[in-house]
Structure 1
Amino acid sequence: MAKAPHVLVVEDEEALAQLLKYNLEKEGYRVSVAMDGEEALVIADESNPDLVVLDWMLPKAPGIEVCRRLRARQETRNTPIVMLTARGEESDRVRGLDMGADDYITKPFAMGELLARLRAVMRRIRPGLADDKVTCGDIIIDRVAHRVKRGQREVHLGPTEFRILDHLMQHPGRVFSREQLLDAVWGSDVYVEARTVDVHIGRLRKALMVGEEHDPIRTVRSAGYALDIEAA
């Protein structure tokens, strides 16, 4: 049986570090925690993690320096790094990405969004380590078997509805315009009318909702659609 991916969480705020550890372990990851930049580099050197969740503001060595040094090492030069920070300025985001971070999420964040972003980075950088099953609330999507379940019930979807749901589940809570969904699901080089999205969302809703089940898809007037993880 393959080993679960190893995530190194580097966060000096103990409550948040433990919350991240708990949620990541619940997702099936093995987790190590470092409380400062120097400890992070020692753990990374010893264990070569599969993914690093790295806070920007750290004692002993700041996150941006840890990122730079991880990228300079042969063993960790391709390790996915997601930076966490309370700094929301555009220049800081650019600096973090320029230094080699793969993604960037600003505090405070929803745990569901962070977990989805981590899965997306793992799929993009190291597809062999990414989980082929994604869970949001009581909805489970299995990409390999091309199956969807809600609770104990099998959900039968057409290929387009499957791709829409997959995309929404990768970014729970995020609102996507019809144009963004068209690009993500149909591709930017295919002409499809925006109202086609509404038709497929309607079919997806109908398949996901049986009896008293609540609607996990939120319509945002004049903006688009989102998958609400609380409602899912």
Structure 2
Amino acid sequence: MSLQINNLTKKFGEQTALNNINISIDRNEIIGLLGPNGAGKSTLMKSIVGALKIDEGEIIFNGKNITEYEIESKKNIGFLLENNPLYLEMFVKEYLQFVADIHKISSSRVDEVIELVGITPEKAKKIRQLSKGYKQRVGLAQAILHQPDLLILDEPTNGLDPNQIIEIRNVIKEIGQQKTVLLSTHIMQEVEALCSRVILIHKGNILQDGPIEEFKGKFGSLEEAFASYTQTNPVAETDH
């Protein structure tokens, strides 16, 4: 798996959401994408998955430009959006079989993923009947069903209770042993529990990109490091 983001810039009118971003990922690891609200995290993730048009720069995924090889790239990327759009009136297994059919994947993979994310007891229920934690698991299941090389998760534990958070983290940790995971979160404990590398984005610029120990540096905690980096770096404003 390799992902190269070269000089990526994205503007919304006069607002610069991403300012000349450069990132290189070339091995399986769980990477924490950090930044305050409006930093550009969602814009970056949507650019990688091809949901947003690239203004300037390029994204090379597995050696191919995602703009030129759009379908091929999307086949190898899994994406769980923060609001986790699901077909609520479908049954859990029915929905995952529907996703599998789109990807031309066998039914045996559906059963395998249901087991992996821990939704076997819920598979005969309608999605709307599930708790938020189980809905997140269904969203995670659809994102990994086609065995993507790159998994992008936007706030995957947002709104979950403490037990659900631990369970979802364990699933992500297991997936991260064989895949590259880019994880956007505001929760520093999540970064410490899961990530080996941190990319800190603020006002459309990358302030830090390196091992978690380096990011933490001389600070007593990740929260202190985050606050220091994002409060003392006056760079161009953005609302995206």
| Alignment TM-score, normalising by the size of structure 1 | 0.31
The structure that has the greater radius of gyration is 1
| Alignment TM-score, normalising by the size of structure 2 | 0.30
Choose between structure 1 and 2: higher strand proportion.
Answer: 2
Higher relative contact order (CA 8 A, sep 6+): 2
